[in-house]
Amino acid sequence: MRVIAGSARRIPLKTLEGLDTRPTQDRIKETLFNILQYQVADCCFLDLFAGSGSIGIEALSRGAEKAVFVENNEKSAAVIRENLKATKLEERAVVMNCDALTALRRLNGKYRFDFIFMDPPYNHQLERHVMEALRDSVLINKQSTIIIESSMETSFDYLESIGYVVEKTKEYKTNKHLFIYRGE
């Protein structure tokens, strides 16, 4: 796994060994950032369930002003810090070693995110809890994009009823990305 483009292009990233994390494959990460390409510069990016931090690091490498990484696993949080140091992007990053809902409460009022990316463990409904927590949060506005990486089987039929609009779904072989906005 490596940084695809930007200031840290080609720098290899460490991952935690074992099955505790599921790093986003380089080709899927490249497709994601091809979709976001011109919107990332100068943005504020939140990487929830960050794992190795590869998505937030890619955003920083491509010009994001700030990235906040939230990872509950202490060893994974340490890997994120190592990767930020290796890419020389640590000055524009904050790493929080806590669960996603705690992080959202701590961040509320301190940031407004242009992008929130989350890749929670599949099939545990964690994305639903996050979406409910964000519903009335000042962490996002109507222009903010929430991107969820999930299994193909995950249903998001509840999103409209809690005030969100799915703008786009990008399906891959085994998973998908949803691009979501807060509704009117």
Main-chain phi, psi angles of 176, to 5 degrees: -150, 160
DSSP-derived 3-state class of residue 118: strand
CB 142 within 8 A of CB 181: yes
Rounded average pLDDT over 81-105 = 97
| Structure-block tokens of residue 56 | 């937030």
DSSP category for residue 17: S
User: In the Cβ-directed half-sphere of 111, how many Cα atoms lie within 13 Å?
Assistant: 22
Give the model's pLDDT for residue 10.
Answer: 82
Q: Quote the crossing angle between the two packed helices 26-36 and 54-61, to the nearest 10°.
A: 40
173, pLDDT greater than 70: yes
The pLDDT tens digits for 60-79 are 999 999 999 999 999 999 99
The pTM assigned to this predicted structure is 0.93
How far is CA 20 from each of CA 50, 120, 173, rounded to the nearest angstrom? 12, 11, 21
CB 111 within 8 A of CB 46: yes
Query: Which of 119, 145, 115, 125 minimizes the C-alpha distance to 23?
Result: 119
Q: Please tell me the chain's helix, strand, coil percentages from 3-state DSSP, rounded to the nearest 5.
A: 30, 25, 45
Match domain 26-182 to its CATH number in 3.20.20.140, 3.30.950.10, 3.60.150.10, 3.40.50.150. Answer: 3.40.50.150
Main-chain phi, psi angles of 31, to 5 degrees: -60, -45
β-strands 44-48, 115-118 pairing: parallel
Least confident of 12-16, 46-50, 54-58, 110-114: 12-16
The pLDDT tens digits for 121-166 are 988 899 999 999 999 899 999 999 999 999 999 999 999 999 999 9
Give the model's pLDDT for residue 184.
Answer: 66
Give the model's pLDDT for residue 18.
Answer: 62
Least confident of 1-15, 80-94, 160-174: 1-15
Main-chain phi, psi angles of 77, to 5 degrees: -60, -40
Q: Which residue has the higher pLDDT, 37 or 80?
A: 80
